[in-house]
């Protein structure tokens, strides 16, 4: 399937074709960085969007003395609720697995993902690809759980992985190195724009809405927003890009060593 939309003017067409959406991530803020515009447009179009986070992100701070985990977890749940209010997402759930240790909870994570798929029966799933965008082990864990749960149910939803584009990385690669964004020596190569399933560039009110949602997550975005040029920040978060899982090589089985036959190959 080709690209559903390249510009915000096609957002309604894009989101109405996505149907009911399950947006499933590791930490509150992942969903807002990677899919705020798509979720907001889907809600505006009357679609059901369920957003789920495996953890409350209680260790997401460089200053744990000021932000002990219990306090930060409470605040991040509240920040996520505020961001979802901005986006119009009324169904947001935090599972509450330990931030930073999701890889130790594969059984709980897999059954969580499976439960959401069974209960919601989404048309479209939005989640991490194998690189987790940043190689954060928690992100990689959610990718594995969702991919496995989806495959175990016969791949009946459309599974879409967040990805940087080749063009996005050309523009922002140096900035991401400066930020120390990657939790690995590996680096993403990106997906060419023409291979994306969903690609939007937010502008005007839609971009402002995403920026407002991100600012609502001040424990996560405050330092960055204060530090960098607002125009660069806006340009960096304006793009949301997803590739169909059926188009990418299957890293899940390579990492878990449970190869099976009959899985979809890249097309
Ligand atoms: Zn995260």
Tens of pLDDT, residue by residue over 134-162, are 999 999 999 999 999 999 999 999 999 99
Looking up residue 43, the CATH number of its domain turns out to be: 3.40.50.10320
Is 255 a member of any domain?
Answer: no
pLDDT of residue 14: 74
Is 89 a member of any domain?
Answer: yes
Name the domain count of the chain: 1
Is 107 a member of any domain?
Answer: yes
Mean pLDDT of 16-42: 96
Is 259 a member of any domain?
Answer: no
- Surrounding ion ligand 1 within 5 Å at CB are 26-27, 30
Distance (Å) from CA 21 to ligand 1 centroid: 19
Is 254 a member of any domain?
Answer: no
pLDDT of residue 10: 62
Distance (Å) from CA 261 to ligand 1 centroid: 32
**98/82 Cα distance (integer angstroms):** 22
Instruction: Name the residue range of residue 232's domain.
Output: 8-245
Distance (Å) from CA 29 to ligand 1 centroid: 7
Distance (Å) from CA 262 to ligand 1 centroid: 32
pTM of the predicted model over 0.85:
yes
Tens of pLDDT, residue by residue over 226-244, are 999 999 999 999 999 999 9
Is 258 a member of any domain?
Answer: no
Closest CA to 141 of 86, 196, 98: 98
**179/164 Cα distance (integer angstroms):** 16
**Residue 251 — pLDDT band, cuts 50, 70, 90?**
low
**For the chain, the helix, strand and coil percentages under 3-state DSSP, each to the nearest 5:** 50, 15, 35
Distance (Å) from CA 119 to ligand 1 centroid: 24
Is 208 a member of any domain?
Answer: yes
Pairing of strands 198-201, 239-244: antiparallel
Is 252 a member of any domain?
Answer: no
Spell out the residues 6+ positions from residue 123 whose beta carbon is closer than 8 angstroms to its own. 18, 19, 20, 21, 157, 158
Distance (Å) from CA 80 to ligand 1 centroid: 13
């Amino acid at each position: 399937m080709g690209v559903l939309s390249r510009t915000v003017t096609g957002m309604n067409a894009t989101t109405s074709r996505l149907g009911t959406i399950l947006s499933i991530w590791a930490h509150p803020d992942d969903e807002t960085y990677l899919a705020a515009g798509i979720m907001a447009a889907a809600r505006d179009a009357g679609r059901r969007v369920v957003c789920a986070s495996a953890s409350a992100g209680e260790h997401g701070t460089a200053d744990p003395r000021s932000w002990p985990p219990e306090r930060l977890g409470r605040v991040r749940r509240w920040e996520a609720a505020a961001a979802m209010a901005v986006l119009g997402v009324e169904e947001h759930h935090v599972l509450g697995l330990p931030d930073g240790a999701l890889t130790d909870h594969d059984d709980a994570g897999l059954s969580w993902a499976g439960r959401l798929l069974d209960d919601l029966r989404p048309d479209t799933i939005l989640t991490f690809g194998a690189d987790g965008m940043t190689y954060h082990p928690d992100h990689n864990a959610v990718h594995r759980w969702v991919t496995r749960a989806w495959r175990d149910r016969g791949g009946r939803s459309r599974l879409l992985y967040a990805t940087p584009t080749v063009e996005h990385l050309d523009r922002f690669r140096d900035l991401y190195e400066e930020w120390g964004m990657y939790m690995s020596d590996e680096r993403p190569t990106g997906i060419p724009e023409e291979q994306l399933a969903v690609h939007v560039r937010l502008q005007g009110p839609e971009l402002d809405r995403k920026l407002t949602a991100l600012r609502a997550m001040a424990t996560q975005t405050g330092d960055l927003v204060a530090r960098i040029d607002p125009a660069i920040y806006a340009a960096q978060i304006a793009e949301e890009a997803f590739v169909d899982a059926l188009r990418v090589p299957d890293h899940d089985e390579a990492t878990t060593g449970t190869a099976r036959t009959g899985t979809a190959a890249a097309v």
